[in-house]
Each structure stands twice: as C-alpha cells, then as structure tokens.
Amino acid sequence: MLYYGAVLFASGCVIGMKIHVSKHLHYVLSRIGWVPVVIFLFSPLHGIAQEIHNSHPPLDSSAPFIASTSKPFAKLMDEAMMIMADGMRKAPMDGNINHDFVTMMIPHHQGAIDMAKALLLYTKDPQLRNLAQGIITEQQNEIQLLKIWLQQYQNSHAEPSTSHSTPPSFASPIGESRP
C-alpha cells in the first residue's frame, strides 16, 4: 500500500489530504493523474452521484423492522439504520443527561438487534451467526434495563403525590432521615 500527500486547490481553498491508495489505484492514478479525480470530485456529476447514493424513499419509522429474505441484505441494513436514526432523533429529551442518554439508547440498541437479525438471514459464517445471536440477546436485556430505569425516573419525576416516599433508586443514604 502506498500513501500520497495531495494538496488540492479549489476555488482558492487549499485542502490538505492524506489518501490511502492501493497498488491498483496507484497504477491507475500514475496513468491518468490526479487532475481527472479532482475534477470529478468538484463536478456536478459527483453531486449527482452523492444524491443518488444518499436518496432513500420516505420510511415509516413507526413501522417495525421486518427481517425478510424478500429484500437484499443492504436494503435491510439501510432500513434498520434509518429506523434507528429516526427513533434516536425523536427520542423524548428533557435536558437531564441520564434520561436523554437512556431514551436515545433504546432505539440504538433496537437498531443493533434489527441489523443482527438481517445478518442471520444471510450469513453462513458460524462465528458471525454466534456474534449476531449474542448481540440480539444482550441488546434485548439492556433494553429491558433501560426501560426499567426510565420507568423509575418517570415515576420519581411525576406530579407530587401525597406520599413522601422516595423511589428506591433515589433513596436517602442509610442513617440520614428525610423531613
């Protein structure tokens, strides 16, 4: 593997880049040079290629992820990631870092489960199958723990009741009395 240090001048901007180049790519670049590559990167064609790559049809993120061999693996992974990202964006936030972390981690963990399910449909590799099954089990357990914490948090931040009891996770240290 070879490394090239390239400095690109575009619209008066200087961009320093260190690019990892394979031997095959090195051969191609030695024949055509960097100029066509730079022109492509700053051309409208590059923007069109990115738009095509990044365009996704609208996805109903409220619909559950369904792992099915009727879709190619890449499509399943895209759907799982889009549902996960949407769930994390829509996670209810209240400014408490603990709460906000927990509400975002639930869809994040579900995304890992969905991706592992997609892998199980397509891979024959025994190590990856074992890893995917472990991810599903562990992430499901962690989601349950996150939901339990969230329920305790919500109960402790609910409207004040006539009871003066404190939720177990926020109990006073032993030996201290509460007014």
Residues 82 and 147 both lie in one domain: yes
Count of the separate structural domains present in the chain: 2
45 and 84 fall within a common domain: no
CATH number at residue 93: 1.20.1260.10
- Is residue 168 a part of any domain in this protein? no
Shared-domain flag, residues 113 and 148: yes
Q: Which residues contact 169 (CB under 8 A, 6 or more apart)?
A: 149, 152, 156
- For 82, the enclosing helix (H) or strand (E) is helix 73-89
**pTM of the predicted structure, to 2 decimals:** 0.57
The C-alpha atoms of residue 113 and residue 159 are separated, in whole angstroms, by 35
Domain that includes residue 27, residue range: 2-54
Find the farthest-apart pair of alpha carbons in the chain and give their distance in angstroms, rounded: 82
Same-domain status, 97 and 31: no
Q: What is the pLDDT of residues 136-179, one digit of tens each?
A: 999 999 999 999 999 999 999 886 654 444 444 544 344 444 34
Question: pLDDT tens-digit profile of 85-117?
Answer: 999 999 999 999 999 999 999 999 999 999 999
The answer as to whether 176 is a domain residue is no
